[in-house]
Amino acid sequence: MTADNYHTIVVERFTAVARVTLSRPDKRNAMNPRMHEEMAHALPQLIDDPAVRVIVITGAGTTFCAGADIKEYFRDLENQPQERRRITELARHWMWDVLALAGKPTIAMVNGHCFGGGLLVSLACDIVVSSDRAVFGLPEINWGHLPGGAASLKTIEAMGSRKALYYALTGESFDAATALREGLVTRVVPHEQLDEQVNKLSSSLASKSPLALQAIKEIYRAAPAVGMAHIHDLVQAKLDQLRMRDTSGLRERGMDEFITGKLRTTGQEGQ
C-alpha cells in the first residue's frame, strides 16, 4: 500500500507538519475496515519520518468522524468473527499503540460532528482544537449498541465517571463549549479560524526541540501511574537522557538565550 492508493484518507505534508484527513465525506468520514488499514499504514511512516515534527488529524467536509461505519463494520462482518477481530485489533493498534504513543505532538482538528469512534480518535491525540460548530457524542445506545473499544476508559479519564456514564446511557449529543468544559477538548475557536489557529499551533510546536517534546509526552503519560513517590526520579532520568541525546547543543543554547533575555516566547528551531 502506498500513499497514492489511499482511498479513505488523504496525507499531506507541509514542511514539518503532516495532516491526515479522514476522507469519506459521503459517509460523514465513518471508519470502515479499509480506513483502519490505511491509518495503520500511514501513521507509522509519518512518526518514523524525521522531517515530520507534528501530526494533525482532521475530517473532510463538514464532519470530523461519525464513528464506525455500521454497515461495513457491524452488518457485513457479523458472520465473519475472525475478520472482525482482525479489524478491531487493527483499530485499537493504530489509535492507542501508534497515535496515542507517538513521540511527536499530535493535534485533532475537530471541524464538525465527532461521534463514537471519532471521539476516540480525538482523545488519542495530545491536543484537541475544536470548531465552535462541532458536535460531540456517544450515540451507540440509540441503536441498541454500546460505546466500543476504550470509550469508557478514555471518557471517564477526561470527564469523570458520572458525566461519561450519563452521555453513554442517554446518547445525547453536546456542543463544543460543553466538550471544553468537560475536558474533552483543549481549545474551541470560531469555525472560520480553525485552520489558521491549528496551523499557528502546529508551526509553533514544530519549531521546538523534538527531543524535549518527546520527553515531556513520556513524563506526562507515565506521571499518574508513577505518583509522587517516583515522579522526581522519572523527571531526573528524562533530564539526563535529554542532556545525553542533545548532541546539537540546543538545550544549552536555549538556556543561554533565556538567561540573556533573547529567548523567543513562540519557540525556537529544534535540532
Residue 110 above 70 pLDDT?
yes
Q: How far apart are CA 145 and CA 78, in angstroms?
A: 14
Cβ neighbours for 173, distance < 8 A, ≥ 6 positions apart = 115, 135, 136, 137, 139
44/53 Cα distance (integer angstroms): 13
State pLDDT tens for residues 29-59: 999 999 999 999 999 999 999 999 999 999 9
| Three-state secondary structure string covering 70-135 | HHHHHHCCCCCHHHHHHHHHHHHHHHHHHHCCCCCCEEEEECCEEECHHHHHHHHCCEEEEECCCE
Answer for the pair 68, 60: CB distance below 8 angstroms, yes or no. Answer: no
pLDDT of residue 159: 94
Q: Which residues are within 8 A (CB) of 247 and not within 5 positions of it... i.e. 6 or more apart?
A: none
The total of other beta-carbon atoms located within 10 Å of residue 94's CB is 23
Domain map (residue ranges) of the chain: 3-206, 210-260
Confidence (pTM): 0.88
The C-alpha cell at 256 is 543561554
More confidently predicted of 145 and 36 = 36
Question: Per this entry, what is the length of the chain?
Answer: 271
Q: Please give the backbone phi and psi of residue 69, each rounded to the nearest 5 degrees, phi first.
A: -75, 105
Nearest to 95 by CA among 140, 148, 18: 148
What pLDDT digit, counting tens, does each position of 241-261 carry?
Answer: 888 877 666 555 554 455 566
Quote the mean pLDDT of the chain: 89
Burial 72-90, CB ≥16 within 10 A → b, else e: bbeeebeeeeeebeebbee
Helix (H, G, I), strand (E, B) or coil at 18: strand
Confidence band, pLDDT 50/70/90 cuts, at residue 18: very high
If you classify domain 3-206 with CATH, what class do you get?
alpha beta
Give mean pLDDT, residues 154-170.
96
Closest CA to 43 of 155, 124, 127, 147: 124
For the segment 170-190, the average pLDDT, to the nearest whole number, is 97
Model confidence at 265: pLDDT above 70: no
Instruction: Give dist(CA 206, CA 105) in Å, integer.
Output: 9
Sequential DSSP letters for 128-166: EEEETT-EEE-GGGGGT----TTHHHHHHHHH-HHHHHH
Structure confidence at residue 251 (pLDDT): 52
Mean pLDDT of 226-236: 89
- Written as one string, the DSSP assignment of 185-208 is -SEEE-GGGHHHHHHHHHHHHHTS
* C-alpha dihedral (70, 73, 75, 80), degrees to nearest 10: -170
